[in-house]
Amino acid sequence: MELPVVQKFADKVDLLKTTVAEKSPDIQVTSARRDFGSFHSSNVQELLGAIKTGNYVPPSLPFDLPQFSYRNGNTPSFGQEMRKKHFLLEETTFINHGAFGGTLKDALDVAQKWQVYIERQPLRFYDRELLPHLVFVTKRLAEFVGCSPTDLVLVPNVTMAMNCVVRSQDLKQGDTAFMLNVTYGAVKKLLKQVCEERGATLQEESLEFPLLGPSQIITKVKESLQPGTKLAVFDHIPSNASFVNPLPEIIDICHQRGTKVLIDGAHALGVMDLKLSSLGADYYTSNCHKWFCSPKGCAFLYVKPELQNCLHPLVISHGFGYGFNSEYIWTGLKDYSAFLALHTVLDFWESVGLQQIRGYIKDLVSQAVDLLVNRWKTGLLAPKEMFGSMACVQLPKCLLKDGCANYEQAEIIQNVLYSQYNIEVPVKALGGKLYVRISIHIYNELKQYQKLADAVEEMTL
């Protein structure tokens, strides 16, 4: 009897498998798809595992990437020249990088090249090439932030990562989650909502401003965190108050009390020297699209190996059930070009040099802060040494209408600075005072902060 076509084909596949198994006993051929990878490309966990064991061959890129030749002592000029050469920013007093970042021109070009390349043969890209490319770029980013590539996944933004972690917690009635009053607004809402849903308690502790030093925060955590608290959430650099939290000490206290620690590092990548494996946080997330200047829609989530099994993405897709990296790497058909452009962002930072970048930012923060404090005869929200690439400088008291600082007044001043002086800087009401939160990146220069000093002086007349 004639065999059905499907059966004949299945026999052929079996024959092929036998031949491969005889010729190459190392290659495991299974009858089904090889766990999670695409039909035509390798399993994601295996690819990442190969990186660990040193057997890794990166996929070749479909086009040449921009070359940065700053390595050979050929240091670029920071400030205006850097802005014109590597950013798309207009010539305004843009001192609010902390809000939405600002993308490197070359990285955006590369992301757009990927988009065009993908559409020339979508099947080739999505089915055969995408996963190995994502693994490749994950490997490079993991190296940069000091952890194993198997402990890090790419996500679109910190908000998504925070949701994944908080929603995956085993929080129930009688449990407590802990945060400080400087926690990012959206994250406060997330914690409140999840605690309410599960009948858990959310403990919020307040820091008093101005801060006297890191020990004030350490003492606050030491005195208020109860043993057995399920989860504590801290910003590496809080958005409003913009000081750098003393993470090693805080994490230590939490672990001594049996509390897992989730760090929101939205503002940290690029500004802080991250060594995630040794930092000891249970979960750490940061944006690439903020201070690292990648195209928008790019962030990462690090999770300690022993906690990876209990964590699942918000979006369940094909990789579900095949391991931490597989579960996150594909969240459905979408534009992955921001992730792929990370090669160029990493090339840029490595070429210019982290020491040079951080050195320029640190010096300029110090000069800008001194200038504003001296001109306005005010003070800072925290000691100068506690700031990274953002700082909160108090505005002159006479700008306050009835002596009380609130959100409405902050908004009015911010709008006047923008509409009348073309200065983009946020104004914050904290601890009964008004502050400007200045951002400093490699394209900024001192004269922009002089302009801010002048404008505020004029407003006080």
Ligand X SMILES: Cc1ncc(COP(=O)(O)O)c(C=O)c1O
- Residues of this chain that bind ligand X (CB under 6 A): 157-159, 184, 235, 239, 264, 266-267, 287
Choice between 264 and 327, CB closer to ligand X: 264
- The least CB distance from residue 266 to ligand X, in Å, is 3
Q: How far apart are CA 296 and CA 288, in angstroms?
A: 8
Residue 260 is which amino acid?
Answer: K
Cβ-based nearer residue to ligand X, 184 or 336: 184
Output 210 or 297, the one with its CB closest to ligand X.
297
Residues 6+ apart with CB under 8 A from 388: 237, 242, 244, 267, 268, 271, 272, 361, 365
Nearer to ligand X, 169 or 287 (CB): 287
Contacts of 178 (CB under 8 A, 6+ apart): 202, 203, 205, 224, 225, 229, 231, 232, 233, 259
User: How crowded is residue 64: how many other Cβ atoms within 10 Å of its Cβ?
Assistant: 8
Q: How far apart are CA 221 and CA 369, in angstroms?
A: 28
Give 31: exposed, middle or buried? Use CB within 10 Å, 0-12, 13-18, 19+: exposed
Query: What does the alpha-carbon distance between residue 388 and residue 34 come to, in Å, rounded to a whole number?
Result: 46
Residue type, 154: L
Q: Which is nearer to ligand X, 51 or 244 (CB)?
A: 244
* Residue 234 or 376 having the CB closest to ligand X: 234
Nearest alpha carbon to residue 261 among 177, 152, 156, 161: 177
Smallest gap from Cβ 332 to ligand X, in A, equals 19
* Adjacent-strand bridge partners of 436: 393, 427
In sequence order, which residues have a C-beta less than 8 Å from that of residue 270 and are 6 or more positions away?
290, 291, 292, 293, 349, 357
Nearest to 136, CA basis, from 33, 27, 61, 34: 61
Minimum separation from the CB atom of position 311 to ligand X (A): 18
Cβ distance to ligand X smaller for residue 150 or 286 = 286
Q: How far is the CB of 240 from ligand X (least distance, A)?
A: 8
DSSP-derived 3-state class of residue 234: strand
Least Cβ distance, residue 348 to ligand X (angstroms): 20
Which of left, alpha, beta for 162 (phi over 0: left; psi -120 to 50: alpha)?
alpha
Q: Least distance in Å: CB of 119 to ligand X?
A: 27
Q: How far is the CB of 301 from ligand X (least distance, A)?
A: 11
We find the least distance from the C-beta atom of residue 183 to ligand X, in angstroms, to be 8
DSSP assignment of 165-202: HHHHS---TT-EEEEETTS-HHHHHHHHHHHHHHT-EE
Calculate ∠ Cα 175-280-210, nearest 5°.
Answer: 75
Q: Least separation, in Å, of the C-beta of 124 and ligand X?
A: 31
Nearer to ligand X, 132 or 313 (CB): 313
Task: For ligand X, give the closer residue by CB, 48 or 345.
Answer: 345
Which of residues 44 and 158 has its CB atom nearest to ligand X in the complex? 158
In the complex, least distance from residue 83 CB atom to ligand X, rounded to whole angstroms: 21
